[in-house]
Amino acid sequence: MDYNRSHVIRYHGYAIVGDKRSYPPNGQCELCGEKRRLVYHHWDNDNFKLGLWLCPHCHILAEKTEKGITSEKYLQLKAEVEAQEVRVSERIKV
Ligand SMILES: [Zn+2]
């Protein structure tokens, strides 16, 4: 893992210096629209303009997505569990 990147993420909101995009004037998360204390998620240490103001939940989602854990994977797992559960309950009925 790139040390600089994890270092900056750990101290997000505190240690990041440079030119971020400006804080949303409506105070709303740019992903889900919730009004919470927002953190700045960025993905390029050479250009802090490349970032989004996100609520804590969406920030986690963004970090997971960067690591390749996508909502598609969640939905796939969910479908697998549901399919398995259907098979089990059908067996019980018989
Ligand atoms: Zn959000």
User: Distance between CA 78 and CA 94 in Å, rounded?
Assistant: 25
Q: 54: exposed, middle or buried (C-beta count within 10 Å: 0-12, 13-18, 19+)?
A: buried
Give 21-30 pLDDT, tens digit per residue: 999 999 999 9
Mean pLDDT of the chain: 84
**Could you tell me the distance, in angstroms and rounded to a whole number, from the CA of residue 27 to the centre of ligand 1?**
11
Helices vs strands, H then E, count in the chain: 3, 2
**Could you tell me the distance, in angstroms and rounded to a whole number, from the CA of residue 42 to the centre of ligand 1?**
15
Give 30-45 pLDDT, tens digit per residue: 999 999 999 999 998 8
H or E element, residue 87: helix 71-93
Task: State if pTM tops 0.85.
Answer: no
**Could you tell me the distance, in angstroms and rounded to a whole number, from the CA of residue 31 to the centre of ligand 1?**
5
Domain boundaries, the chain: 3-69
Give 68-80 pLDDT, tens digit per residue: 998 899 999 999 9
Contact 59, 48 (CB under 8 A): no
